[in-house]
Chain A
Amino acid sequence: MLNSVDPWLNEIGVTAQVRSPTDLSASEKSVSSATNLDEFIAGARTCLPATVASAPFGLLFGALAIENGFSIFETCLMSLTVFAGASQMVGLELFGQKVAPWLIVVSIFAVNFRHVLYSASLGRRISHWPLWQQALSFFVLADPPYAEAERRAEQGKRITFAWYSGVGAMLYVCWQIETLLGAIFGSLLPNKQALGIDFLLPIYFLGLVMGFRKRPRWLPIVLVSAAASMLAYRLVGSPWHVSIGALAGIVLAAALPLQEAKDETP
């Protein structure tokens, strides 16, 4: 079975990675012996908690979209092309209120604005990849792929396109399936409150935050971001609390006296 998958991976160019020898540090050499298929599977496996945590939202989005008058085609089109759960929900909310089209687009842009930060941060690590691989990687740059990539970098492992594809494909394909299932069977969805599915993502995100606790100035950054986002949530409202809270923590990190931090990026 493994042999039958490998040519496919070759075909889409997963194995065609050319790296300069300089970006193979000592800790990375142990990883490079793994095949691309191993890396792809490892990536998919890494993304399992995120996939479980976001699954209810995929179903919910599909169900709510139909309820709000979307066709199944429009519902799936949105998941296929936008691929950003929270913003898709916000979009739906506004579609239902007969808001001006440009305002819906601007709102979705606002909810997704945090991706600018992900993009700047991840870009440093993948800028040596071929352009089409970068373009594709940024397309699936939702919260989990970004966080998992940062986690991997922190573990001193190299972020390969094969591994990142595994993360992205797992999340992307499951998101599409959930959307479709939700759209078709949405009316049968049980009481989501009792099952706790509305609170799974915060738990998952908290785990990710905890995972970065070895980084310099982690505690002050988290405290400032938390306080600023809660304040903004009350005073300004969602979704601006995300950008405002994040910027507060980032500005703090940039403004504090520079530490002689070990640099993980080449």
Chain B
Amino acid sequence: MSVNVWIILAAAVATYLTRIGGHLVLSRFPRIHPRVQAGLDAVPAAVLTTLVAPAALTAGPAEFTALLVAALVALRLGLMPMFLAGAVTLILLRQVMS
């Protein structure tokens, strides 16, 4: 097998370790401290925010407007309408601005 294949398999193992690791560590404790609980409840907002924020940092006017429109739509409607609204805004503005 080539080196590439070995690297890929090692990367797969490393990735799987990250996906079971948190649970394996946490399941060793019979009780979860309320503060840990509060921290875990914050995981979705905290992690997903970090996947958006740097993109907003480097965004141009079209990208920024698309995020704004998507955020406003998300206040009223579900995930799919907000996603479509953001995508359509982005594509239209990019056509206009380029």
A228–B54 CA distance with the chains assembled, in angstroms: 10
A121 touches B56 (CB 8 A): no
Question: Interface size class for chain A?
Answer: 35 or more
A24 close to chain B: CB less than 8 A? no
Question: Across the interface, do A74 and B67 meet the contact criterion of CB distance under 8 Å?
Answer: no
Contacts across chains A and B counted by CB atoms under 8 Å:
276
**A242/B50 contact (C-beta < 8 A), A147-B44, A215-B41, A261-B38 known:** yes
In B73-98, which residues have CB < 8 Å from any A CB? 74-75, 79-80, 82-83, 86-87, 90-91, 94-95, 98
Residues of chain B contacted by A120 (CB below 8 angstroms): 22-23, 25-26, 40, 43
**Scoring A residues 125 to 169 as 1 if CB is less than 8 Å from chain B, else 0, what string do you get?**
001000000110011010100110011000000000000000000
* Residue A12 lies at the interface, judged by CB distance under 8 Å to chain B: no
Q: Give min CB distance, B95 to chain A, whole Å.
A: 7
Given A78-B8, A202-B51, A245-B50: A258 in contact with B34 (beta carbons within 8 A): yes
Question: Taking the complex as formed, is A186 at the interface, i.e. its CB lies under 8 A from any CB of chain B?
Answer: no
In the complex, chain A residues whose CB is within 8 Å of the CB of B57: 230, 233-234
Which chain B residues have a beta carbon within 8 Å of chain A's beta carbons? Answer: 2-12, 14-27, 32, 34-57, 59, 63, 66-67, 70-71, 74-75, 79-80, 82-83, 86-87, 90-91, 94-95, 98
